[in-house]
Amino acid sequence: MALPAILSVDDDPNVSRAIVRDLRRRYGESYRIVRAQSGADALDALKDMKLRGDPVAVLLADYRMPGMSGIEFLEEAMDLHPAAKRVLLTAYADTNAAIDAINVVDLDHYLLKPWDPPEEKLYPVLDAMLEAWATSGDRPVTEIRVVGHRWSARSSEVREFLARNQCPYRWYMSDEPEGQRLLEAAGADGMRLPVVVTSDGQALVEPTDSELADRVGLSTTPCADFYDIVVIGGGPAGLGAAVYGASEGLRTVLIERTATGGQAGQSSRIENYLGFPDGLSGGQLADRARRQAAKFGAEIVTTRDVVALEVNGSARTVRFADGAALDAHTVILATGVSYRQLPVPGIDDFTGRGVYYGSAVTEAARCADEDVYIVGGANSAGQAAVYLARSARSVTIVVRARSLDASMSHYLIQQIGRNPRIGVRVCSEVIGVEGDDHLSRITVRDNVTGNAETVDAQWLFLFIGAAPRTDWLDGVVVRDEHGYVLSGPDLVVEGRRPHGWDLDRPPQHLETSVPGVFAAGDVRADSAKRVASAVGEGAMAVMLVHRYLARQ
């Protein structure tokens, strides 16, 4: 953690050296003494410290400096570091100007030059200021800072990316004072948002996920060209496969396009997972699994989009969107599913601006004392409703079915029924959205009566259906009519093996129509669509990989 700074700026080299010498003698062990010889240089230093999150305790500026006077410097410096104490160094003839500066820059003190002896004229003044500053609460910010617009879709995506990848951050709106100070320090005009300031003080303007991942320490490039297992997808099935593959000595790499955890990683509370009677969040589960996989030596690569799978002799080749490729003996498909888009005209315009797909945890704090609507009747929707109801004024679940019984776990239905803040509108659906720069109203239709009602709503969370991410497997791996990957016995129809299967044996239980390529979790046809079963299938796939490799 950086030491708090005491900055001195004076254009006279002799005076500058003298003040810094005295400051270091008294405060050098506990404070960082920074010296500048012009107001412009001092402001540049302060901007760098602002971006790094370094605290600034005291600013000492000479009154008469060419180009920028001490008062002008302090006036600009207080916009960057408003908590820093401000001292003006003046000659005796300038004391009236110094007194006037108290009203201009809220000056804390002025010192006459020379200040000898410092034990009588300098240190007592600064001791009092530093004591007052230490109780002011100005502390270094070591985590990532994100400056954005409240209703910016990309700002929302960046926040969710950081949260799901377990990267601590602070959020500042671009129109609040601290947000504006960070934008000024970064040299950003506020038109291109978000601006992300990393913990080492680097400012990223409108960064892509890959750029962000590189700067926050996430791995984005595999360390080798060939592996025993390439796991595609970082949900529970993929993480389970990575843990068991690496723990059994197989060279394992997991490729994830956004963040580990998958849909389960976005769950606010999972209470029916074996071994956790008090429940845990999806983020906690994903973080523990990721650390466990890394402990055994699995590589985890993020922000890489897989676009093709090829068979090249005994190798299985995975191709990325950027043209790079990776080879392995085997591949485990664990890409899971994504939420379906709500087929309502104009809804895409509000994504990230009041309409969110499965990001209740990230946005929950901003929903305090608001009316929230959730579309969906499965466990993810129920978990979000219970979580949001902690702070929201009301939560309304909109579901097309006659009840939640067929799609939601019993324990969640009981919790929803006991919570007076949660209501359920059955046999209903959202058919319209309205707003300007963000969502303001939605229209809900009762499918029994046909009546439609428009209500005020700034928050709409969607947890509807599931679609497998398997278009990139077209023509390579056999899928069902919905896009789910067929495996094992499902591939054998009337005793006939899948087209192109040239081995004497039938496909193993989780093996796809391509030997050595396995499917696990929600992407597999007729899977259980539960976290525990996905983890189990990931582990089982590794066992089948061993069998496959033993026969090669």
Give residue 191's pLDDT: 85
Mean pLDDT, residues 61-74 taken together: 90
Same domain flag for 126 and 21? yes
541 and 422 in one domain?
no
Would you say residue 90 has pLDDT above 90? no
Whole-angstrom distance, CA of residue 400 vs CA of residue 376: 8
The whole-angstrom separation of Cα 174 and Cα 176 is 6
CATH code of the domain containing 199: 3.40.30.10
Domain assignment of residue 290, yes or no: yes
Query: Is 483 part of a structural domain of the chain?
Result: yes
pLDDT at 230 over 80: yes
Q: Is residue 514, in this structure, part of any structural domain at all?
A: yes
Write down which residue in 215, 239, 257 finishes a domain.
215
For residues 172 and 267, membership in a common domain is answered with no
Same structural domain, 545 and 503: yes
State the SS3 of 184-242. Answer: HHHCCCCCCCCEEECCCCCEEECCCHHHHHHHCCCCCCCCCCEEEEEEECCCHHHHHHH
153 in the same domain as 182: yes
Above 70 in pLDDT, residue 140?
no
- 410 in the same domain as 263: no
Which residues are CB-neighbours of 128 under 8 A, at least 6 positions away? Answer: none
Claim to verify: residue 21 and residue 125 sit in the same structural domain: yes
Q: How far apart are CA 231 and CA 330, in angstroms?
A: 9
pTM of the model: 0.81
Same-domain pairing of 114 and 11: yes
311-355 per-position pLDDT tens digit: 999 999 999 999 999 999 999 999 999 888 899 999 999 999 999
Vertex 161: Cα angle to 242 and 181 (nearest 5): 145
Q: What per-residue confidence (pLDDT) applies to 114?
A: 82
State which of 165, 184, 215 marks the end of a domain.
215
What tens digit of pLDDT does each residue of 27-59 get?
Answer: 999 999 999 999 999 999 999 999 998 999 999
In a domain, 248, yes or no: yes
Question: Is the same domain home to 290 and 406?
Answer: no
Count up the domains in the chain and report the number: 4
Q: Please report, for the domain that includes residue 15, its CATH number.
A: 3.40.50.2300
pLDDT greater than 90 at residue 416: yes
Cβ(283)–Cβ(164) under 8 Å?
yes
CA neighbor of 431 nearest in space, from 403, 460, 404: 460
- Asked, for residue 221, whether it belongs to a domain, the answer is no
CB atoms inside a 10 Å sphere around CB 190:
15
In a domain, 523, yes or no: yes
Question: Token pair for residue 413?
Answer: 């239905």
CA distance 346 to 343: 9
Query: 248: closest CA among 549, 552, 551?
Result: 549
Shared-domain flag, residues 244 and 154: no
Distance CA 160, CA 271 (A): 23
Given a cut of 80, whether residue 495 has pLDDT beyond it is no
CA distance 248 to 199: 36
Confidence label for 498 from pLDDT (cuts 50, 70 and 90): confident
Point out the least confidently predicted range of 239-243, 266-270, 449-453, 502-506: 266-270
Give a yes or no: residue 139 inside a domain: no
Q: Are residues 328 and 436 in the same domain?
A: no
Q: Which of 205, 176, 208 is nearest to 193 (CA)?
A: 205
Using DSSP's 3-state secondary structure scheme, residue 33 falls into strand
Asked if residue 219 lies in contact with residue 73, where contact means CB atoms within 8 angstroms, the answer is: no
pLDDT in tens, 364-379: 888 999 999 999 999 9
Q: What angle do CA 118, 124, 125 make, to 5 degrees?
A: 95
CA 33, chain centre distance (Å): 35
Residues 278 and 159 in one domain: no
Beta bridge partners of 149: none
Can you give the residue range of the structural domain that contains 547?
A: 226-338+467-551
Contact 281, 270 (CB under 8 A): yes
**pLDDT at residue 350 in the model:** 95
How far apart CA 542 and CA 85 sit, in angstroms, is 61
pLDDT at 138 over 70: no
* Amino acid 499: pLDDT: 81
Look at residue 220 and tell me if it is in a domain: no
Which residue in 290, 292, 459 sits closest to 372, CA to CA?
Answer: 459
Q: Could you tell me which residues come within 8 angstroms of residue 150 by beta carbon, excluding any fewer than 6 positions away? A: 173, 366, 438
| Residue, of 139 and 342, whose pLDDT is higher | 342
Domain boundary among the residues 431, 462, 493 is at 462
CATH of the domain at 454: 3.50.50.60
pLDDT > 90? residue 168: no
pLDDT at 497: 85
